[in-house]
């Protein structure tokens, strides 16, 4: 509560209500594409991989597919979509950025619209909450890349569409960080802090896949900036 009271007292901006939301790391990476999410940006990332497994789009095959829906985006001019595609390729080093508009008459318009059948369209709209008049950006990449790429697209959309509320501080806790990750050489390495306690203790270390073990670690984030971090230290000799 110290941060809430401090920001409330010394800033003329509004501070989002306390207690701050606790967001598991995995959820943050899925919904926001970052473990330092800016919650002032209302856009969220959705996973639609299961739908696109049944659709033959070459650039999507064998990849994780994430989407970002723009409410009422069907009225946004074509140059905006071209500009976002250019940003994805030049700034994010993506291979491209697919998009679709859902027009008022229900027509799907965009480079990949012809590949998506009626059943898949209905499943997509139900799963993501997309409606007529919206538009969608599609990000397809492998795990470890797709999260960051979708996060960069989400961030840029928020800036270009002026969706960020500059009058407020929005805090959150990021919790349940993974204990381990795969390093670039393919070996398992510590993800963040090697001196943290693993959730589940020795039993987790002995019996779980290392990549499934979570740590007692946390970060405090405000408006996309990490302000503090901490952990429960490994205090049991048999686990050290």
Cα–Cα distance list, 56 to 33, 53, 120 (Å): 25, 8, 12
Q: Which of 46, 89, 79 is nearest to 65 (CA)?
A: 46
CA dihedral over 17, 192, 155, 47, signed as positive or negative: negative
Cβ-count burial 171-187 (b if 16+ within 10 Å, e if not): bbebbbbbbbeeeeeee
pLDDT at 37 (0 to 100): 98
In the chain the first and final C-alpha atoms are separated, in Å, by 32
> Residue 239: is its pLDDT beyond 80?
no
Mean pLDDT for the stretch of residues 16-34? 96
Q: Which residue has the tokens 């048999």?
A: 238
pLDDT at 92 (0 to 100): 96
> Residue 240: is its pLDDT beyond 70?
no
Mean pLDDT for the stretch of residues 208-221? 95
Answer yes or no: are the C-beta atoms of 159 and 91 closer than 8 Å.
no
Residue 219: strand, helix, or coil: strand
Kindly give the pairing relationship between strand 45-47 and strand 98-102: unpaired
pLDDT at 59 (0 to 100): 87
Answer yes or no: are the C-beta atoms of 167 and 153 closer than 8 Å.
no
Question: pLDDT, tens digit, for every residue of 116-165?
Answer: 999 999 999 999 999 999 999 999 999 999 999 999 999 999 999 999 99
Measured CA to CA, the distance from residue 127 to residue 66 in angstroms comes to 12
What DSSP string runs through 209-229?
-GGG-BBSEEEEEETTEEEEE
Q: Which residue has the tokens 């997309």?
A: 130
- If one compares 183 and 103, the residue with the highest pLDDT of the two is 103
pLDDT at 237 (0 to 100): 82
pLDDT at 192 (0 to 100): 80
What DSSP string runs through 16-40?
PPSSPPEEEHHHHHHHTSSSS--TT
Residue 178: strand, helix, or coil: strand
Query: Is residue 156 within a helix (H) or strand (E), and if so which, with residue range?
Result: helix 146-160
Tell me the helix, strand and coil percentages in the chain, rounded to 5.
Answer: 30, 25, 40
Encoded tokens for 164: 């960020």
């Amino acid at each position: 509560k110290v941060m809430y009271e401090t920001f409330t007292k010394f800033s003329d901006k509004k501070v989002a209500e306390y207690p701050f939301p606790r967001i598991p790391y995995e959820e943050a990476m899925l919904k926001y594409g970052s473990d330092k999410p800016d919650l002032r940006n209302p856009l969220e990332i959705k996973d639609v991989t299961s739908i696109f497994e049944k659709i033959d789009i070459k650039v999507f095959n064998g990849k994780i597919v994430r989407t970002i829906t723009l409410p009422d985006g069907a009225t946004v001019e074509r140059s905006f979509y071209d500009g976002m595609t250019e940003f994805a390729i030049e700034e994010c080093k993506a291979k491209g950025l697919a998009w679709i508009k859902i027009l008022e008459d229900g027509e799907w318009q965009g480079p990949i619209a012809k590949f998506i059948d009626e059943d898949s369209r209905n499943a997509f709209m139900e799963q993501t909450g997309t409606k007529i008049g919206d538009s969608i950006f599609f990000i397809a990449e492998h795990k470890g890349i797709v999260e960051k790429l979708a996060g960069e697209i989400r961030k840029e959309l928020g800036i270009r569409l002026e969706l960020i509320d500059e009058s407020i501080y929005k805090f959150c806790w990021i919790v349940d960080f993974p204990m381990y990750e795969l390093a670039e050489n393919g070996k398992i390495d510590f993800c963040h802090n090697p001196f943290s306690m693993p959730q589940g203790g020795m039993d987790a270390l002995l019996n779980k896949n290392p990549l499934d073990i979570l740590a007692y670690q946390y970060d405090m984030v405000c408006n996309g900036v990490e302000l503090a971090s901490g952990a429960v230290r490994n205090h049991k000799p048999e686990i050290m």
